[in-house]
Amino acid sequence: MNWTWFHKLGSPKWFFHRSKAWALPLFAVGCVGLIVGLIWGLVFAPADYQQGNSFRIIYMHVPVAMLAQSCYFALGVAGFVFLVWRMKIAPIFIKAMAPIGAVMALIALVSGAIWGKPTWGTWWVWDARLTSVLVLFFLYMGIIVLQKALDDQVLANKAVAVISVVGLINLPIIKYSVVLLETLHQGPTFTLTKKPEMPSEMWLPLLVCAICMYFLMAGLVLWRMQSEILKREYRSSWVREEVMKRGL
Amino acid sequence: MTYTSFLVSEFLLIWRRKQDVINVLLFFIIAVTLFPIGVSSSPEFLASAAGGIIWCAAVLAILMAVEGMFKEDFRDGSLEQWVVSGLSLPALILLKVVAQWLAFLLPLLGIMPLLSEMLFLPESSFWVLIMTFLLGTPSLFLIGVIGAALTVSLRQGAMLVMLLILPFYLPVIIFSTLAIQAAEANLPYSGQLALLSAMSLLSLVISPFMTAIAIKASAS
Amino acid sequence: MHPVRKKRLLVITAIVLILGAAVTLVMYALQQNINLFYSPSQIAMGEAPRHVNIRAGGLVVDGSVKRNPETLAVVFEATDYQHTVTIEYRGILPDLFREGQGIVAQGQLNDGGVFIATEVLAKHDEKYMPPEVSEAVKNAQSSMGESKASSQSTY
C-alpha cells in the first residue's frame, strides 16, 4: 500500500492547498441536502402510528446525536495519531472539531429532551444513555477550555491530544448503554447489520439528513482548519504568497 | 536516583508537608457537614443519602489533593530531573500515585467511622462504603494525575483540572453509590464492586503513560 | 534476550493481563442486575426485593387500566407475556401511555406484590410506522387469530 498520502497529510501546506477547493462544495451540498431532508421529513414523511407528529424530531435528533459521537471518535483518533506520529495537522483538526462536536452534543441533548417530554413523559431521566451523552458534552467543553487555557502551543497540542484519547472510553458506554443496560432510550435507529425498523418513506429522509449533516460538518471543519493553518503558519513564505495572491 | 530512593523521598516529602493532607481532610469533613445543615438533618434522609454525600465530598477532596500533586515538583525542577533520570517515567508516576494514594486514603478511611455515625449510615453498609473506597479511589487518583500533569505549568490550574477531570469521575461515583444503596436494600452488590475494580485496573494501564506524555510536554 | 526488550515484553504482558482482568470483571458485572431493573416474571418469581426503590418494565395489558375518576390514581397491569404485575400510580401519565405500550415504572413493591409507582414513563422502541400501516398490520394480525399476539416481540 502506498502511504505517501498519509505522510503528506502531515504538512499543513499540502493540506491547505488540497482542501481549499473542498470546503465550500461540501458545505453547500450538506446545507441543501439537509434542508431537503428536513422538509421531506418534517412535511412529507408520514406521522408515526403511536407518537404522531412528535416523532418527526427524529430527523434532527438522530443525525445530530450520530455526529456528536462520530466527532468525538474522530477527535480520539486524531489525538492518537498525534501522540504516535506527531502529525502537525492532528491538533489543528482537534481544535477545529471540538466546538462543532460540543454544539452537536448540546443539540442532541436539547432535542432529545424536547422529544422525551411528549413520549416518555419527562424531559430528562438519569439513565445510562442520557448521562453518558451529557458526559460527552462535558468532555468537549473540557477540551475547548484546555485548548484556550494553555498558551504554549506545543503543550496545548499534546494536552488536547491526551485528553481526547482518554475520553474515547466514554464512547462504548454511550453506544452500548441502550443494548446492555435497560435504559428508557430506544435501541439504535440505524445499524449496519439490519434494515431499519420502519418503512422507507420514513427512513430515507432520515438517511438523507444524517449523510448531509456529515457533509455539512466536513465543510465546516475544513474551513475552520484552513483558517487555523493560516493562523499558525503566518510566518511561512507560502502563507505570505497566498495572501499576496489574493490581494489582501 | 533509584526507584526505592524515589519512593522514600516521596514519603518523606509527604511527611514534611503534613499540612496538605490535614487541609484536604478538613475540607472533606466540612463538605460532609454541609449536607445535614443545608439539605435536611432528619436521620431517615441522611441514612439513605449518606453514601452519596460521603462519596461526593470525597471526590472533591481527592480532586483538591490530586490537582496540586506536581506543582512543587514542577517549581523546583524535579520534573525535569525525572525525565532525564534514565528511569522509566510511567513507573515513577505510578510510585508517586501509590504514595499519595496511601497518604490521603488512610486518614480518610480513619475518619470514616465518625462521619458515617454523623450521617446515620446503617451499620450493614459501612463496610461496603469502605470497600467502594478501596476499589474506587485508585482510579480517581490515576485519572486525576493526568489532569494535574496537563495543567502543571498553569498558575491557575485548579479550576481547569476540575472541568477536565470531573466528567471522568462520574462513573466511579455512580457505581459506588449504587453499591452502597444495594447493600442498604440487602441486595447483591458484587457487580458494582467488580465494575469499580475494572475501572481502577483500566486507569492503571492508561494513566501512567498518558501522564508521562503530559509531564514530558510540560517539563520541557 | 536483550534487557530492554525483556523489560518491554514484561510491561506488555502486564498490560495485557490487567486489561484481561478488567474485561473479566466487566463481564461479571454485566451478568448482575446492577441497575435494579426487574421484569414482571422476575417480580412474580419473588426475585425483586420489597420496600426498595426499583424499576420495573413491561407492556400494559389490554383492558387492565382502571382510572379513579375523582383522583389521578390509576391501576393497571404490566406483562412480559409470561407473568403480570399490578402497578398503582397516582399522577399524570405520559401521552404515549396506552394499552399495549411498553412502560418503565419507578417505585417500590409492597407486601401484597403490588408495585406502587412514583413515576411511570412510556418507553417506545426503534420501530416507527405510519398509522395506515399499523392499521393494516393490526387487521392482518386479528384475522390470523389471537394466538399470534404473543409472538409479537416484546419491546
**pLDDT given for residue C20 in this prediction:** 92
Match 498558551 to its residue by C-alpha cell: A151
Q: CA-to-CA distance for A71 and C86, rounded, in angstroms?
A: 45
Do C12 and C88 fall into the same domain? Answer: no
Are C154 and C103 in contact, with CB atoms under 8 Å apart? no
A window 199-218, beta carbon within 8 A of C: 199, 201-202
> Which is nearest to B204 in space by CA: C8, C26, C19?
C19
Where does the pLDDT of residue C155 fall: very low under 50, low under 70, confident under 90, or very high at 90 and above?
very low
Chain B hits for A155, CB-CB cut-off 8 Å, are 153, 217-218
Where does the pLDDT of residue C150 fall: very low under 50, low under 70, confident under 90, or very high at 90 and above?
very low
**pLDDT given for residue C68 in this prediction:** 80
Do C27 and C42 fall into the same domain? Answer: no
Is the predicted pLDDT of residue A34 greater than 50, yes or no?
A: yes
CB contact under 8 A, C95 and A181: no
Q: Tens place of pLDDT for every residue, chain B, 220 residues?
A: 888 999 999 999 999 989 989 999 999 999 999 999 998 888 888 988 899 999 999 999 999 899 888 988 898 888 888 988 888 899 999 999 999 999 999 999 999 999 998 898 888 889 999 999 999 999 999 999 999 999 888 877 788 888 889 989 988 998 898 899 888 878 888 888 998 999 999 999 999 999 999 999 888 7
At B37, the amino acid letter reads I
Chain B hits for C53, CB-CB cut-off 8 Å, are 185
SS3 state of residue A145: helix
C128 domain residue, yes or no: no
Question: Which of A135, A149, A154 lies closest to B154 in CB terms?
Answer: A149
In chain C, whose CA is at the least distance from the CA of A200? C129
Interface B:C, Cβ pairs < 8 A: 54
CB contact under 8 A, A135 and B170: yes
Q: CA-to-CA distance for A185 and A166, rounded, in angstroms?
A: 26
**Partner chains of B (3+ C-beta pairs under 8 Å):** A, C
Do C27 and C68 fall into the same domain? Answer: no
Interface probe with A: pick from B139, B168, B206, B213, most Cβ of A within 10 Å: B168
Number of C-beta neighbours around residue A238 at 10 A: 12
**pLDDT given for residue C39 in this prediction:** 83
pLDDT digits (tens, 9 = 90+) for C30-86: 777 666 778 888 888 887 888 888 888 888 888 888 888 777 788 888 888 888 889
Say which residue, C9 or C139, is predicted with more confidence: C9
Question: Which of C26, C52, C53 lies closest to B198 in CB terms?
Answer: C26
Q: CA-to-CA distance for B134 and C126, rounded, in angstroms?
A: 41
Number of C-beta neighbours around residue B54 at 10 A: 27
Do C91 and C26 fall into the same domain? Answer: no
SS3 state of residue B42: coil
pLDDT more than 70, % of chain C: 77
Number of C-beta neighbours around residue B8 at 10 A: 12
Where does the pLDDT of residue C153 fall: very low under 50, low under 70, confident under 90, or very high at 90 and above?
very low
In chain B, whose CA is at the least distance from the CA of C52? B185
Is the predicted pLDDT of residue A93 greater than 90, yes or no?
A: yes
Where does the pLDDT of residue C145 fall: very low under 50, low under 70, confident under 90, or very high at 90 and above?
very low
For A197, residues 6+ apart whose C-beta sits below 8 A from its C-beta are C125, C126, C127, C128
pLDDT more than 90, % of chain A: 36
Number of C-beta neighbours around residue A194 at 10 A: 8
Q: CA-to-CA distance for A33 and B195, rounded, in angstroms?
A: 44
CB contact under 8 A, A121 and C120: yes
Are A144 and A99 in contact, with CB atoms under 8 Å apart? yes
Do C28 and C39 fall into the same domain? Answer: no
* Cα torsion through B208, B213, B216, B218, rounded to 10: -100
Do C100 and C49 fall into the same domain? Answer: yes
CA dist list (Å): B144 to B138, B166, B198, C111: 10, 9, 17, 46
CA dist list (Å): B129 to A70, B33, B139: 37, 18, 16
The secondary structure of residue C153, as a DSSP letter, is P
- Residues written for chain C: 155
Number of domain units in chain C: 2
How far is C1 from chain A, CA to nearest CA, in Å? 26
CB contact under 8 A, A197 and C132: no
Exposure string over B17-45, b if 16+ CB within 10 A, otherwise e: eeebbeebbeebeebbeebbeeeeeeeee
> Which is nearest to A182 in space by CA: C62, B194, C103?
C103
Range of the domain at C57: 34-122
C111 domain residue, yes or no: yes
Match 470546503 to its residue by C-alpha cell: A23
Chain C hits for A50, CB-CB cut-off 8 Å, are 96, 98, 101, 124, 134
Are C103 and C74 in contact, with CB atoms under 8 Å apart? no
Interface probe with B: pick from C4, C7, C25, C28, most Cβ of B within 10 Å: C25
How far is A45 from chain C, CA to nearest CA, in Å? 9
**pLDDT given for residue C147 in this prediction:** 41
How far is A123 from chain C, CA to nearest CA, in Å? 11
- Residues written for chain A: 248
How much is the average pLDDT of C132-143? Answer: 66
C67 domain residue, yes or no: yes
How do the domains of chain B map onto residue ranges? 3-219
**pLDDT given for residue C151 in this prediction:** 38
Say which residue, A173 or A221, is predicted with more confidence: A221
Chain C hits for A47, CB-CB cut-off 8 Å, are 130-131
CB contact under 8 A, B167 and A145: no
* Cα torsion through B182, B185, B190, B191, rounded to 10: -40
Q: How wide is the angle at C-alpha A152 spanned by C-alphas A148 and A153, nearest 5°? A: 80
**pLDDT given for residue C140 in this prediction:** 66
pLDDT digits (tens, 9 = 90+) for A102-113: 999 999 999 989
User: Percent helix, strand and coil across chain B, each rounded to 5?
Assistant: 85, 0, 15
Chain B hits for A86, CB-CB cut-off 8 Å, are none
The secondary structure of residue A168, as a DSSP letter, is T
CA dist list (Å): A195 to A202, B82, C127: 12, 56, 11
Do C80 and C47 fall into the same domain? Answer: yes
How much is the average pLDDT of A9-30? Answer: 86
At B127, the amino acid letter reads W
